[in-house]
Amino acid sequence: MVLALVSFALLVVQLVLVVRVVLDWSVTLAGPAMPGSWRSKALDVIYAITEPMLAPLRKVLPPLRAGGISIDLAFIVLFLGVSILRSLI
């Protein structure tokens, strides 16, 4: 029972991380969200949920710069770590 709840919580974390990726790409492709729009509100909520998990990892793994782009290694490590934990449970 407890393992099922932990697995479900980790699944929710994974889904929130996927939503963050989609919203980040929407900013990249469509430009910044207008203040007060649903996208702006969604970004605020998702960032409030995910940033406490990502910030400590970013101190250890800063983004990898490759020309004009930046790859967030902390995000990748967190997503893979959650996936591995879920598969072990």
| Mean pLDDT, all residues of the chain | 92
Evaluate if pTM is beyond 0.85: yes
Per-domain boundaries in the chain: 2-88
Tokens 């934990």 correspond to 85
Find the length of the chain.
Answer: 89
What is the per-residue pLDDT across 23-59, written as a single tens digit (0 to 9) for each?
988 887 888 878 888 888 999 999 999 999 999 999 9
Asked if pLDDT for residue 9 goes beyond 90, the answer is: yes
Higher pLDDT, residue 38 or 80: 80
Measure the CA–CA gap between 71 and 26, rounded to whole angstroms.
16
